[in-house]
A and B are shown apart, each in its own frame.
Chain A
Amino acid sequence: MKNNDNLNAALAAATCALLGSAVAAPVAAQEESSGWSFDSTLLYYGESDDRVRDISAAVAAQRDFGDERKFSATLTADTLTGASASGAIALDRPQTFTSPSGRAVYTTAAGAVPLDDTFLDTRFALNASWTQPLARLYTVSAGVGFSTEYDYTHLGANLSLARDFNKRNTTLSAGVAWSQDDVDPVGGRPIPLAQMLDVGNDSNKRNGGESKDVLDLLLGFTQVLNRTTVLRVNYSYSDSSGYLNDPYKLLSVVDPLTGDTLARVPIGQGPDGVYLFESRPDARTKQSLYAEVKHAFGTPVMHFAYRYMTDDWGIDSHTGEVRLRWPLGDGYIEPQLRYYTQSAADFYRASLVNGAALPRYASADFRLGDFDATTVGVKYGHGTTGGNEWSIRAEYYQQTGSVPQEQIIGNQARREQYPDLSAVIVQFGYRFRL
Chain B
Amino acid sequence: MNTSCAATLTRNADHWVGRFVAMASPCEILVDDVQASLAQQVLDVVASEAWRIERKYSRYRTDSAVHRINDSAGSETVVDDECANLLDFAATLTRLSEGAFDITSGVLRKAWTFDGGNHVPSQAQIDALLASVGWHRVEWQRPVLQLQAGMQIDFGGIGKEYAVDSAADQVERIAPGLSCLINFGGDVAVRNARPDGKPWRVGIENCTRMGAAERVVQLSRGALATSGDARRFVFRDGHRYSHILDARTGWPVRNAPHSITVAADTCTQAGTLTTLAMLKGCNAESLLRESGAQYWLQ
- Which A residues are within 8 Å of any B CB, using their own CB? 1, 3-4, 7-8, 10-12, 14-15, 17-20, 22, 24-32, 34, 66, 136-137, 164, 167-169, 298-299, 330, 385
Contact = CB atoms under 8 A, between A and B. Distances in A.
Contact of A25 (B165, B192, B263, B272): B192
B120 interface: no
B291 A19 contact: no
Contacts of A34: 215-216
B269 A25 contact: no
B165 A19 contact: yes
A11 B269 contact: yes
A30 B217 contact: yes
A20 B88 CA distance: 13
Contacts of A28: 193, 199, 219-222
Contact of B191 (A8, A12, A25, A385): A25
A298 to B, nearest CB: 7
Contacts of A10: 92, 95-96
Contact of A26 (B192, B222, B291): B222
23 contacts: A7-B96, A10-B95, A11-B92, A11-B272, A15-B89, A15-B266, A15-B269, A17-B89, A19-B165, A19-B169, A19-B266, A24-B165, A25-B192, A25-B221, A27-B219, A27-B264, A28-B219, A29-B219, A29-B294, A31-B217, A31-B218, A34-B216, A164-B197
B297 A29 contact: no
B224 A29 contact: yes
Given A26-B221, A168-B197, 11 more contacts: A7-B287, A10-B96, A11-B269, A15-B269, A17-B89, A24-B189, A26-B222, A27-B223, A27-B263, A28-B220, A31-B215
A35 B197 CA distance: 24
B290 interface: yes
B268 A29 contact: no
Contacts of B189: 24
A29 B266 contact: no
B122 to A, nearest CB: 35
Contacts, number: 122
B273 interface: yes
B220 A29 contact: yes
A26 B190 CA distance: 10
A39 B11 CA distance: 41
A167 B193 contact: yes
B193 A18 contact: no
B265 interface: yes
Given A4-B291, A19-B268, A24 B96 contact: no
A3 B276 CA distance: 14
A14 B89 contact: yes
Interface in B269-298: 269, 272-273, 276, 285, 287, 289-292, 294, 296-297
B88 A299 contact: no
Contacts of B168: 24
B211 interface: no
B233 interface: no
B197 A167 contact: yes
Contacts of A14: 88-89, 92-93
B207 to A, nearest CB: 15
A1 B268 CA distance: 23
B180 to A, nearest CB: 13
B296 A31 contact: yes
B196 interface: yes
B85 interface: yes
A306 B62 CA distance: 68
A29 B89 contact: no
Given A14-B92, A27-B221, A32 B297 contact: no
Nearest to B288: A4
Contacts of A385: 285, 297
Given A10-B96, A25-B192, A164-B197, A18 B218 contact: no
Contacts of A299: 292
B240 to A, nearest CB: 16
A26 B263 CA distance: 10
Contacts of A3: 290
B201 interface: yes
B219 A298 contact: no
Contact of B291 (A8, A17, A27): A8
Contacts of A11: 92, 96, 269, 272-273
B218 A30 contact: yes
